[in-house]
Amino acid sequence: MTFAVGDRVRVADRAHAGHHRTPGYVKGRRGRIERVHGSFTNPETRAYGSDGLPEVVLYQVAFELEPARTYVDVFEHWLEEAR
C-alpha cells in the first residue's frame, strides 16, 4: 500500500520486540500523510547486520495529539489505510 499526501492512515498497533522507529505513543493512532520523504534502507533489519534492503518508503505523518499536533516519521509497513 502506497500513500499520498493528504491520505488518512492508521499506525499498526502491534508489538515488535526488536529495534524499530515507530514510537509507542502513535501506535493505533490515526493521522494524515504530510509528506513523502522517499525510500530508505530499513532500520529494523539494519540494526541486526543486514544491508536494510529492500528500501521502505518513509512518510511524515501528522497526528492530533494532546497538547499539540505532532509530526512523526513512520515507515510504510507500519501504516494502514484509515477510513
Interface contacts to another protein, rule CB under 8 A:
18-19, 23-25, 43-44, 46-49, 52, 67
Q: Are 70 and 18 in contact (CB under 8 A)?
A: no
Minimal distance, residue 2 CB to another protein, in Å? 24
Separation between Cα atoms, residue 73 and residue 83, nearest integer Å: 21
Size (the chain), residues = 83
For residue 46, the minimal CB distance to another protein (Å) is 4
Give 3 or 11: the residue with its C-beta nearer to another protein. 11
Amino acid at 6: G
Q: Which is nearer to another protein, 2 or 51 (CB)?
A: 51
